[in-house]
Amino acid sequence: IQDKLEEVPAPLRPVRVDNAPLLKEVIDRCSLSRNPHARELARIFRYPHFRALLEAHDEIGVTQLAKLSHPPTTPQSTTGSPSLGSRTPSASAPVLNGAKDKPGHTNGHTDDAVDDGASAMPGETIKMVGIRRNPDEPLGLTVEVDEHNQLVVARIIAGGMIDRQGLLHPGDVILEVNGVPVTTPEELQGEISLAKESVTLKIGPSVEEEMKSARITMAGGQVKNGRNLDTGKKLTCYMRALFDYDPNEDNLLPCKEIGLSFLRGDILQIINVKDPNWWQAKHAGEDGPTGLIPSQELEERRQAYVPPEADFVHKIGICGTRISKKKRKILYKTKQNSEFDKADLMLYEEVTKMPPFKRKTLVLVGVAGVGRRTLKNRLINSDPDKFGSVLPHTSRQPRPLEESGKAYWFTDREDMEEEIRENKFLEFGEHNGNLYGTHLDSIRDVIRQGKMCVLDCSPASLKTLHNSPEFMPFVVFVAAPGMEQLKLLYSERRSANGSTRNLHFDRQSSIRFSSRRAKTLESLASLYEDDDLISAVEESALLQRKYDKYLDMVVVNEDFDDTFRQVTEALEQLSHEHQWVPVNWIY
């Protein structure tokens, strides 16, 4: 309170002194408007006494600005720290309208001599900021030394102590801490650690703020404060993280203590994206602190970076120079879309929270032989009114007793190829010279019946389904279990089908002979089967890593009954719990 009472008030400055021309422009625009409120405003502005009031304000403002621009040049004793150099304060320093003049000591200085005919530059604003802090809570800001060797505030962490008090802003120069001059982040950290409950900071304007203050122009008597020059973005949106992040292992993070760790699939509330490299975020639905996370651009550059020693694309010449070749123009082909998707880095996905609703499609993906089709059939048989499936289209001729619409939709090859070119098929392939595929209209027909369409398609189709608000898929990845469980699944399937997998000789008949050849064939059969199991497990892990960004649920098919129960329970929860879905499904 004493500081406030002793504070020397800053001289008043008019915001602008060209209100009369501005008033005429407003009247002209409002008169042409059809809005009745705009016309009413124009009528009020035409009143003679209102125009006379603004003219008087402009005349007084010009006189006041002339006095402030040519202050008296009588010498004054200077005060302040000698280490501040030109930042010696003075009581007559003018404060620009809209400047950060929070409560505190505001001082400046006046030069002992002013050149004749030269207008004096506005003095600097020095403020003292007192902060009462909790020793266990960080201040919530980061600092850096700029090109002018000033210790400036780099960023304010949203929700932190400094942000809540609103006393500091990015770009402020920290001159002293509790009366001790500081010039480096280490000195600042050391002085703050010595302080207990209260910290007093001496804050000066940055060079950029001084340049903005110097933009006071007398042309037409208009004052510009440059406040609208701030292009920082503040927003609130939600992102689903598609990678794991640990700030303690990030060498690029300016301060590891304010980093925010997260795991793949976590929902993050993005609060500030002003810094192109570091976003301010917090975990959605939690009261935890706000921290820094790498931006999309920074993480893309980091993950796409190839060290020079591992760059085998650019050849090196004899003298160590790169051998540059003329770039070849490669045309994009849609059939190579899956190859281009491998280079697509999806790091964050913008999502929004929706009330409970039922997804339109259930997509089961996984390696062959892991039990996807069995799970699909059991789901449909358990509730035919809730689940439905599609019939594939084919260009082969129907066999005897086959009818179109029973097991397949039969069509001409020319028509099917034309619809494939028009992207009317979710997926397609060729077998024995005949085309087979899943038509998008077949999926729409099941959805129009009020059923959830169950698909066991290729993982390459997930991108099309995920990016379409028409299908809104719930994707379940059926992961391969261990070797023993997978061997049991294969044996059960062989029992059901009456045949072995990938074996071209009769394994059972060879056991009847106790010859060396029979034992060799038996060993080969076991070896081939183990190789198939190992390949299936490795392929399952590869597919899960590759398409993890599209998966809603991963279930390991160790026990089929348990797998069926997990999937049905997850689908039931969709009807009772809020869901985070991609924003392109809604907007």
Residue 471, pLDDT score: 94
Per residue in 3-47, pLDDT tens?
A: 665 666 677 777 787 887 888 888 888 888 888 888 888 888 888
Q: What are phi and psi of 171, to 5 degrees?
A: 100, -15
Three-state DSSP at 155 gives strand
Amino acid letter at 171?
Answer: G
Instruction: Indicate the pLDDT class of residue 121, thresholds 50, 70 and 90.
Output: very low
Report residue 243's pLDDT band, with 50, 70 and 90 as the boundaries.
very high
Residue 245, pLDDT > 70, answer yes
81 touches 182 (CB < 8 A): no
Looking at the predicted structure, is the pLDDT value of residue 222 above 60? no
Measured between alpha carbons, how far is 565 from 525 in angstroms, rounded to an integer?
35
Averaging pLDDT over each range in 153-167, 191-205, 419-433, which range is the top one? 419-433
If you average pLDDT over residues 549-563, what whole number do you get? 91
Confidence band for 105, pLDDT divided at 50, 70 and 90: very low
Residues 6+ apart with CB under 8 A from 367: 480, 536, 539, 540, 543
Which domains occur in the chain, in start order?
A: 232-319+339-354 (2.30.30.40), 355-386+451-585 (3.40.50.300), 394-440 (3.30.63.10)
User: Residue holding tokens 């070797």?
Assistant: 483
Q: What distance in Å separates the CA atoms of residue 15 and residue 528, rounded to the nearest whole number?
A: 86
pLDDT at 346: 83
pLDDT band at 570; cut points 50, 70, 90: very high
Least confident of 62-66, 181-185, 354-358, 579-583: 62-66
End-to-end, the C-alpha distance of the chain in Å comes to 52
Amino acid at position 467, single letter: N
Tokens representing 456?
A: 């066991």
Can you give the pLDDT at residue 120?
37
How many angstroms from the chain centroid is the CA of residue 442? 35
User: According to the model, what pLDDT value does residue 40 have?
Assistant: 86
Pairing of strands 234-241, 198-204: unpaired
* pLDDT on residue 521: 47
Q: How confident is the model at residue 122 (pLDDT cuts 50, 70, 90)?
A: very low
Residue where the block lists tokens 């281009």:
340
Q: What pLDDT, on a 0 to 100 scale, did the predictor assign at position 8?
A: 63
Instruction: Indicate the angle between helix axes 36-45 and 48-69, nearest 10 degrees.
Output: 70
Over residues 330-357, the pLDDT tens digits come to 544 545 555 555 556 789 999 999 999 9
Residue 510 has pLDDT above 80, yes or no: no
* pLDDT tens digits, one per residue of 147-180: 778 888 888 888 777 887 777 888 888 888 888 8
Average pLDDT over the chain reads 75
**Phi, psi values for residue 267, rounded to 5°:** -95, 125
Would you state the pLDDT for residue 425? 94
Flag the least confident range among 76-80, 202-206, 255-259, 369-373.
76-80
pTM of the predicted model as reported, rounded to 2 decimal places: 0.59
What's the pLDDT at 54? Answer: 83
- Phi, psi for residue 553 in degrees, rounded to 5: -155, 140
Structural tokens at position 162: 């400094």
> Residue 440: is its pLDDT beyond 80?
yes
Question: Got the DSSP string for 61-103?
Answer: HHHHHHHHHS---------S-GGGGGG---TT----TTS---S
How large is the average pLDDT for residues 373-378?
Answer: 92
Q: Which residue has the higher pLDDT, 395 or 122?
A: 395
Q: Is the pLDDT of residue 467 over 60?
A: yes
**pLDDT higher than 60, residue 580:** yes
**Residue at token pair 């403002």:** 61
Listed in sequence order, the residues at least 6 apart from 7 whose beta carbon sits closer than 8 Å to its beta carbon are 103, 104, 105, 106
- Interacting residues of 437 by C-beta distance below 8 A, sequence separation 6+: 392, 393, 394, 416, 420, 425, 426, 427, 428, 429
Tell me the pLDDT tens digit for each residue of 281-294. Answer: 999 988 888 899 99
Asked whether residue 376 carries a pLDDT value surpassing 50, the answer given is yes
| pLDDT of the residue at 495 | 57
Q: Are 372 and 364 in contact (CB under 8 A)?
A: yes
Q: Would you say residue 506 has pLDDT above 50?
A: no
494/504 Cα distance (integer angstroms): 14
Q: Comparing 95-109, 242-256, 363-377, 416-430, which segment has the lowest mean pLDDT?
A: 95-109
Query: CA-CA distances (angstroms) from residue 102 to 14, 106, 262, 489, 518?
Result: 19, 9, 37, 72, 93
